[in-house]
Structure 1
């Protein structure tokens, strides 16, 4: 969203920081204490934590400002908030990654430079010397590099090289090869499917009925292979270094339906999965907003720093993984908004448990 003044740019950036603060819900004293503890640890990847006095952080978040906080201060505060979320058993990426926040910080600086340069002639933004790198051009170059990295990653994942799913290639959905390869190698998988329970969370019986509904006349042997294929995807959650799964479920998707035995088994299965330390479920109370997110969205992240995030969309029976960074950023922001407004994992599990008791 464009802003009319540098003060508005700063205010918008601080508002995003306050949203992360609200998600972590710490005290100022706790943040100051955590910062000091992190300062005594070996700096990860050379990142230095600066002191975060309670009064300074309070001023940062509550008082009007004309300048952006220094990146070192912003990064240190976000590192502490991520640490607090992790200690509470929540996904630290709810606060956003430092890479994402670095991009936001740079974008805000670029916007402020542009606003200061309005009406000052054709010499470019004030404070940028002739011949100095153009921040906007640098940002475009970074996005172009990321686009190329993502395109290469997707091409390699969809190549003919043998993958884990090849024994099931006769039942693998058309166009899903690249996604299936990346799914198993991902470090973190974030899922939202409007009004539905994602297939990665299905029980065996749920998977069987879905296969029968998709192909009513299929022989039992083929149905059994489709079920085995679906269940084999769960190994990513149980391996030595399991993937982190974060799922947003619409309340309508978990509401009791006609076949009570199937619903109960599926609900109990969701609770069992959520008991795993690497799985988190959150419920949305409202109806799915199909105008905002029109279909299933999956965000994949990888341990390898050279691999950019990948967004995969399920539309009209096809799995699409667009390589463009701006598309990835768009859907990442949409997912972030949905997760921030959903019930907490603890409340969500209590809702599911209460449903089982009520329908006992």
Structure 2
């Protein structure tokens, strides 16, 4: 097996899950390797994401580790497939790997949820809005770097063109709607774009108005990526230094609850639509 120099987030998740299964089965690395018919070093490399694993070997590992959750095993098989054939690979030399990982996670998602306080979600941004945001980054991006990021963000949005396979629920705070990014005309066009996206059957947009006051999760930017089974969900937290992924069961449960509570205080979709319309009229 050939080693991979820079495993994707999905490949790293696979190694983590396989190690967790082995430990839950009460097996040491030596015992797990012996059952699989390989060396301990080989198993350690698989669990550390340095080596890939074949579908046949993964199924044997599931049996050895007494994992009978067929949906979960199916999700692991999907993680094991070499996914480095997506559109995001064309950006590998010009953008940080964590950004490519987010695009790959979104592309393989069964559903998406997001919550944003200060910014419009990237999946719902217009070209001009996104470009202006990237112009404000410190230290400054070069013109070519800005365009690479804008084009990448627009290609990420293509997942919303496949409503049969995925739904998207976004909660946006009024603060993000009020900031006139790029000036009044750009801000108005952005709001109109939000209204148009919210009319799609598989896209739901809900607004948290200032009048709600304090609410759970305020100030956070959260992207919840639903996998093929809840055990394989992922949360991406937007930080100044790049996305941070949360994959533990405890963390996932916490963010599911947090997003539920944020949605509970938000306006209903129809009310949110009217709310956005009113802000657009004021520009």
Same fold (TM over 0.5): yes
The one-character-per-residue Cα deviations of 1:270-327 (angstroms, maximum 9, x if unpaired) are 111111111111000237858745521111124x348632222223423222221011
Runs of 4+ in 1 over 4 A off after TM superposition: 148-157, 215-219, 287-291
Determine whether 1:270 maps to 2:199.
no
Which of 141, 149, 158 is equivalent to 1:226?
149
Which of 216, 220, 223 is equivalent to 1:295?
220
> Partner of 2:206 in structure 1?
282
The one-character-per-residue Cα deviations of 1:133-166 (angstroms, maximum 9, x if unpaired) are xxxxxxxx99xx8xx9799689759x78333201
* Cα distance in 1, alignment partners of residues 234 and 256 from structure 2: 9
* Cα distance in 2, alignment partners of residues 248 and 306 from structure 1: 21
Aligned residues: 215
- Within 5 Å, give how 1:10-29 maps onto structure 2: none
Q: Larger radius of gyration, structure 1 or 2?
A: 1
- Within 5 Å, give how 1:1-360 maps onto structure 2: 161-214=84-137, 218-239=141-162, 241-255=164-178, 257=180, 259-286=183-210, 292=217, 295-302=220-227, 304-305=228-229, 308-359=232-283
Where does structure 1 lack aligned partners over 5 or more consecutive residues?
1-140
Where does structure 2 lack aligned partners over 5 or more consecutive residues?
1-64
C-alpha displacement at 1:254, in angstroms? 0.4
Task: Give the alignment's Cα RMSD to 1 decimal.
Answer: 3.5
* Aligned-partner SS, 1:172: coil
Alignment TM-score, normalising by the size of structure 2:
0.64
* Cα distance in 2, alignment partners of residues 316 and 290 from structure 1: 23
Alignment TM-score, normalising by the size of structure 1:
0.52
* Aligned-partner SS, 1:329: helix
C-alpha displacement at 1:250, in angstroms? 0.3
C-alpha displacement at 1:218, in angstroms? 4.5
* Cα distance in 1, alignment partners of residues 86 and 265 from structure 2: 37
